[in-house]
Amino acid sequence: MERVVTRPRFLGAVGLGALASAAFAVWVGLRIGGVRVALWVDDGFTPIAALSACVLCWRARARHDGRMRLFWTLLGCATACWALAEMIWGYYALIANVAVPVVSWADVGYLSAIPVVVAALVVHPATHGSGTRKTRSVFDGLVVATALLFLSWTLVFGPLWRSSNPGTWAGIVALAYPFGDVVIVFFIVLAIRGMTSGDRLSLWCLLAALLVMALSDSTYTYLTASSSYTSPGLIDTGWFAAYLGIGLAAFASRATGEAVRSPVHNRPSLASLIAPLVPVLLALVVVAVEHALGDHLDHAAWLMAFALVALVLVRQALIVFELFGPGNDSHDGPRERITHAALREDLTAPVRLGGYESH
């Protein structure tokens, strides 16, 4: 019999994960016991967290059918890649006692997980749908991803591209992580737009974990490019917490079928209209700061900026069509919709004539 994850059990798991992440951060950040001990805690417990997430994903796979079963299968494969990469990283740092090469076999595991995670988000029922609302969700994701790509290129990618040789393996690997994270963020936006109360708790945990991992990857790329990354480091807490978050999502997942799409609402919510524009405003702030400092955008940044403007205009046009297009009764208030429903009921109701029903 399937055991349902009750609220106390879930809150207990959340508390345990938060406590473990806090202890990890304190130990690694303060380097309790010395650098070598903190290194063992860092590179020893991170693979354990990844392996735990992998096991929980495969257990969640057994509770589902259809698309959700495939989703957890792919996510289990992704966490397996991460776990293998963490073990290879730990071998370099702990067993071989050498500095981890800039391009190593661990990078193969890390980078292999990115397309598998993207495939998992693609097959998730929350990213499927049709109609104008689905199209706008795609453009919301494109707007957010393009704005983040612009910010990353201006602050991280551009300087990294100019300071390194992109034709070498080191340059390719350094740029692959942030670009992969931007693609993941795009599908995260789609999943957030389509999720419902069916499995909302599990999906929120997963999306939060993937966002933490994306931020950790981007920060690591920046620190590495500026020769500021040290191991053990406080940034490593991001990956540890992300693996625990994925495991928590798998733990909280329950078999509810594939009907996770939200019911159709006539009018889009205010949050769904404003949220995708937040990174656009951040991009505008960066452009203003760059101009005030006397810096100029390169050709790639200008191309991204024009693409962002075009995507925002198309998105706004879709919003107008969604609100006022044909077949949309969002302008009707509750009283008008009730009146229309009552009229249809009156027209289709049987009429009694002399004790007999006539249609």
Q: How many Å apart are CA 82 and CA 76, to the nearest integer?
A: 10
d(CA 236, CA 24): 9
- In this prediction, residues 88-101 reach a mean pLDDT of 87
| pLDDT computed for residue 239 by the predictor | 93
Return the higher-pLDDT residue of 296 and 251: 251
Structure tokens at 222: 């920046």
Q: Which of 257-271, 318-332, 338-352 has the highest mean pLDDT?
A: 318-332
- pLDDT band, residue 114 (cuts 50/70/90): confident
Q: What are phi and psi of 302, to 5 degrees?
A: -65, -40
Mean pLDDT of 155-170: 64
Sign, Cα dihedral of 209, 211, 215, 218? positive
Position with higher pLDDT, 277 vs 267:
277
Instruction: Write down the pLDDT at residue 342.
Output: 44
Hey, which of 67-76, 166-175, 295-304 has the most confident mean pLDDT? 67-76
Q: What is the mean pLDDT of the chain?
A: 76
Report helix, strand or coil for 230. Answer: coil
- 159-166 contacts: CB < 8 A, separation 24 or more? 159/225, 160/221, 160/225, 163/225, 164/225
Q: Is 304 left (phi over 0), alpha (psi -120 to 50) or beta?
A: alpha
Contact between 86 and 104 (Cβ < 8 Å) = no
Residue 174's nearest CA partner among 226, 213, 212 is 226
Give 272 or 19, the one with higher predicted confidence: 19
Write the DSSP symbol of residue 96. Answer: S
pTM: 0.71
Instruction: Give the rounded percent of residues in the chain with a pLDDT score beyond 70.
Output: 72
Which residue shows structure tokens 């029903």? 357
Condensed to tens digits (0 to 9), the pLDDT of residues 328-351 reads: 544 444 444 444 444 344 444 454
